[in-house]
Amino acid sequence: MSKLILTRHGQSTWNAENRFTGWVDVDLSEKGKEEAKKSGELIRKLNFKIDISYTSYLKRAIETLTIILKILNLPMKFNTAWELNERHYGSLTGLNKEETKNKIGEEQFKKYRRSWDVAPPLMAEDSNYLENFSPLNGGIPQNKIPLTESLKNTYERVIPFYDIEINKNLKNGKNILISAHGNSLRALCKYLFKISDTKINELEIPTGNPLIIEFDNQSKIQKYYYLDDSRAKNIIFNQ
């Protein structure tokens, strides 16, 4: 039986400021580093081997993973994939969430944040925020780089990567750790737990609380649970 560990990165500096971050490459806050340490400590208590680790091109997820690997006393060997990047928030990038909600109204705000297929307006091609994107993005094919994304768009890059790269290792009995982002993990959970387009808006991925998913050798989910029950969120399955 193989295990998949999904960890959302700890609080970032822009999370702390309540700003839409998306592809902007910001650091973990001090609280975020502590959340990453907590994740590592929780995983260590499981006492099973991590065979392969994956993360995105964004340093908040990379730093979370490196903190966890240090706590697990594992080598700093991991795979980075742009497909696991956070959702691109387009023209909302950098804006304060509360101010944006007050400006555009709660209904439109919820559509941009939680709907399945509504993307924010495009980011301007000369936006100053482009300078703050990860330098690793230089390895992304030019025709794959978005200027905005819905969750559906995020799903369309996360799931092919999962099917081609990650699932083959799960089928081979490997235990896999993924350190990624709220929306890239929501997209993956939608796929794994067969969550409908209408129900996915109810799924929230907590920071600093690893989700364990256990699979049989046919890639069917046998068990799933958060490591910290006190901060667990409801997992929607086949709805």
Residue with tokens 């950098």: 94
Active-site hit among 9, 35, 63, 181: 9
Q: Is 88 a catalytic residue?
A: no
Q: Are 224 and 211 in contact (CB under 8 A)?
A: yes
Burial class (CB in 10 A: 0-12, 13-18, 19+), 45: exposed
Cα separation, 235 vs 205, in Å, equals 9
DSSP state of 19: B
Active-site hit among 63, 86, 88, 149: 86
Q: Is 9 a catalytic residue?
A: yes
Other beta carbons within 10 angstroms of residue 9's beta carbon come to 30
Q: What are phi and psi of 96, to 5 degrees?
A: -75, 130
Nearest Cα to Cα of residue 50 among 171, 192, 175, 197: 175
**Residues with active-site annotation:** 9, 86
